[in-house]
Amino acid sequence: MRASEIRELLKLLDRPGMVSFAGGIPDPSLFEVDAFRNVYGDVLTRSESALQYSTTEGFPPLRRWIAQYMSDRGVPCGEENVLVTHGSQQALDLIGKLFVDPGSSVIMTAPTYLGALQSFTAFEPEFDSVRFSDGLALTNATNARLLYLVPDFANPTGQTLSKQDRVAALELARRAGAILVEDAAYTDLRYEGDAEPRIAALDVAQSGSIEASRTLYCGTFSKTLSPGLRVGWVCGPASLIRRLTLIKQASDLHTSTINQQVIFRIASGYFDQAVARARDTYVQRRDVMLSTLAKYAPQGVRWTTPSGGLFVWLTLPQQLESGALLEKAVARNLAFVPGNAFFADGSGSDHLRLSFSLLDEKTIASGVADLCGLLDDELRRAA
């Protein structure tokens, strides 16, 4: 099943009655809407600059807030180490523009985040894969521009790299002469257990300072405060941040001034509260998804147990193909993303990704039960 066909099917998601586990998007009922309304009003009352052009680097108080956030998480740094981006997707684009040329090598996990694949593909690299399933099985790549990882509750698998794997990834990046891109899109959404150290923190600890490190950390407010404002960041050595800033200037001048001023105020006042609310809500939805799978999934179906994030990753018995399954699921008003969307080489049709972030617990329970019923029917038919 090709990406364009998958997109066509997923367009049906808005159909009334459709139960979609496809989108990896936050529940808008968790957004601090009243706070946003007040802060937009207040910023437009007090700030003369909110509607005007601003500098490419980003709103200085927001850069300082982010530098403090990073420092609190083991990455001591200053505002010169932070570039505010138009969502973390733009950070990937800028990094691709700076480091990737046609034919150069980019190392990613297989599977990986679809948007990162798309972003880097624009610069025509060769992709090398590292497997994620049993720790990080390292390649022998000796020369690469980028090593891209989503170390926490990865999209699509929900899996998290151990500290040992993070150290190994850094060592691989060093050996390959690559920049390590740490995509921390879901890192704040941990539901249990202790946080693993940021790869950027391990790198700084080993290197002695952020300026000597090789990790570019991509963060975002999209999963915690709101994706609609498009505010993210990249944090790394000041020399690289300056080069990325010049590239951003040529790409879009700067991120929306008013949105940066608003996100700064919301982050300052509500970040911990918003993260706590999101965790409380999502962990219950995850639990319902996992317990329903445990109850109804037919023999031979396996799945991951994410300790955070938005996704559960299913592995199907070999008789089933997730693209064909999606067509049948849509006929039953169910949707998910077939696994091959997340592999550079188009493999992975024995997998599918379920997101538990957007639906209430009751709908998750009945939808997952229905999906298990479909799997059961299809396995019987194939037998």
Kindly determine how many residues on this chain lie close enough to bind a second copy according to the rule CB under 8 A. 48
Residues between 33 and 72 with contacts to a second copy, criterion CB under 8 A: 33, 36-37, 40-41, 44-45, 48-54
Asked whether position 187 contacts a second copy by CB under 8 A, the answer is no
The structure tokens listed for 327 are 């067509």
Judged by beta carbon, residue 28 or residue 300, the one nearer a second copy is 28
**Residue number, 250 or 294, with CB nearest to a second copy:** 250
The residue among 11 and 380 lying less far from a second copy, judged by its C-beta, is 11
Beta carbon nearer to a second copy, 129 or 256: 256
Nearer to a second copy, 303 or 311 (CB): 311
List the one residue out of 256, 316, 206 whose CA is nearest residue 56. Answer: 256
Applying CB under 8 A, the span of 88-96, 176-184, 210-218, 372-380 interacting with a second copy comes to: 88-96
Helices 3-10 and 322-331, interaxial angle, to 10°?
20
Candidate segments 111-119, 190-198, 318-326, 360-368, binder of a second copy by CB under 8 A:
111-119
Counting contacts by CB under 8 A, is residue 229 touching a second copy? yes
Sheet of 311-315: strand order equals 302-303, 311-315, 351-355, 337-338
User: Residues 269, 271, 276, 279: what is their CA dihedral angle, to the nearest 10 degrees?
Assistant: 150
Which residue, 118 or 206, has its beta carbon nearer to a second copy?
118
Site for a second copy in 235-274 (CB under 8 A): 247, 249-259
Distance CA 119, CA 101 (A): 13
The CB-of-232 to a second copy minimum distance in angstroms stands at 9
CA dist 289 and 168 (Å) reads 32
Q: Of 23-31, 190-198, 210-218, 274-282, which part binds a second copy (CB under 8 A)?
A: 23-31
Q: Which is nearer to a second copy, 109 or 119 (CB)?
A: 119
Beta strand pairing call for 351-355 and 337-338: antiparallel
Binding test (CB under 8 A) with a second copy, winner from 76, 115, 135, 298: 115
What is the rounded CA–CA span in Å between residue 282 and residue 309? Answer: 8
Instruction: Kindly identify the residues of this chain, within the stretch 119-148, that bind a second copy according to CB under 8 A.
Output: 119, 121-122
Residue 94, φ and ψ in degrees, nearest 5:
-65, -40
155 binds a second copy (CB under 8 A): no
- Which secondary structure element, helix H or strand E, spans residue 110, and what is its range? strand 105-110
Q: Return d(Cα 343, Cα 320) in angstroms, integer.
A: 18
Which positions ≥6 away from 9 have C-beta within 8 Å? 326, 327, 330, 335
CB of 362 to a second copy, least distance (A): 20
382, two tokens: 């194939």
**Which positions lie near a second copy, rule CB under 8 A?**
23, 25-26, 28, 31, 33, 36-37, 40-41, 44-45, 48-54, 86-87, 89-90, 93, 97, 115, 118-119, 121-122, 222, 226-230, 247, 249-259
